[in-house]
Amino acid sequence: MQVNRPLSICKVLILLSIFLLNCSKGEKVTLKLALTSANEWNYLFSVDIKSSIGKSSFNSSLRTYLKSNSLEKNAIVNFKLYTPHITSNFLSEQEKYNLERQFEKLVLTLNTKEGAVDTRDTVDLPVLMVGEWDLFRSFFKVLPALPEKPVRAGERWERERQFPLETNHGKAIGHLYQLFTLDSLSGDNMVKKAYLSWLFKYRIEPLSTDSIFLEKLPLNGNGKGRAVFDLDSKTIEVAHASFSTQSESSSDITWMETVHLEMIK
């Protein structure tokens, strides 16, 4: 009997774990960002871009730090950039230096409710002129839009946004659609982490009918993302998104992009 007792205890623990797991799956949680448990948010933000036009390849990367120490009214957080560093196989040292200085002046305004960047009150966004995609539209893709009501594991929600674009071939509109899923919840004794994933589509709508515009731009693309949300501190711990596109009229133009956002504690 003494030999079997540990097995009996193990069975009880296994059954209890299964019961608690099933309960946590049915529990609804609120995913809401809040700058109340810390004085500031610090993130590492990186973007890696690989593009090809015919036989030519264009690679470029950005590494920088984002820091915010204030939460304004209406759930607005302002991020400043620190020590941006750019690597590129097609930009000169002077061009990279000029871009880094531009990034240092940039302020990213985040709406924590919508999970979106608002740049209306900031300086003009620096543009990496490959495929006419500016680097900081990448921030849209890596930030999850959080649901307005509590959700449980397995539930989904959507976000659709559009924003103006300036290109060498005229004005355009960018369309972003994202479908989010709360994949799972985890934690000891109580739920502490939420794991999210999403699929998205990004499309450029030219406001010009210039055929040259259509030939030189990759107009449509698809991607996927994932993020870990800390329910105790109400912060995004880490988020990652990948994106690829191809031009409408030419298979010779491709674009691959990876974006990473990670909290530094």
- Residue 126 and residue 102 in contact, taking contact as beta carbons nearer than 8 Å: yes
pLDDT tens per residue, range 133-149: 555 567 777 888 889 89
Count CB atoms within 10 A of the CB of residue 255. 21
pLDDT tens per residue, range 87-134: 988 888 988 888 888 888 877 777 766 655 655 444 454 455 454 455
Of 22-31, 76-85, 184-193, the poorest mean pLDDT is in: 22-31
Query: By CB neighbour count within 10 A (0-12 exposed, 13-18 middle, 19+ buried), where does 224 fall?
Result: middle
| CATH number, domain 5-263 | 2.30.230
Q: pTM for this structure?
A: 0.77
Residue spans of the domains in the chain: they are: 5-263
Residue matched to tokens 């509590």: 150
The pLDDT of residue 195: 96
Report residue 78's pLDDT band, with 50, 70 and 90 as the boundaries. confident
* Cα gap 116→143, rounded to integer Å: 7
The pLDDT of residue 148: 85
Taking the alpha carbons at both ends of the chain, their separation in whole angstroms is 50
Contacts of 52 (CB under 8 A, 6+ apart): 58, 252, 253, 254
Q: CA distances (Å), 237 to each of 43, 180, 193, 261, 265, in order? A: 9, 17, 9, 8, 9
* Cα gap 121→100, rounded to integer Å: 20
Report residue 169's pLDDT band, with 50, 70 and 90 as the boundaries. low
Query: By CB neighbour count within 10 A (0-12 exposed, 13-18 middle, 19+ buried), where does 11 fall?
Result: exposed
Q: CA distances (Å), 133 to each of 92, 152, 185, in order? A: 19, 36, 35
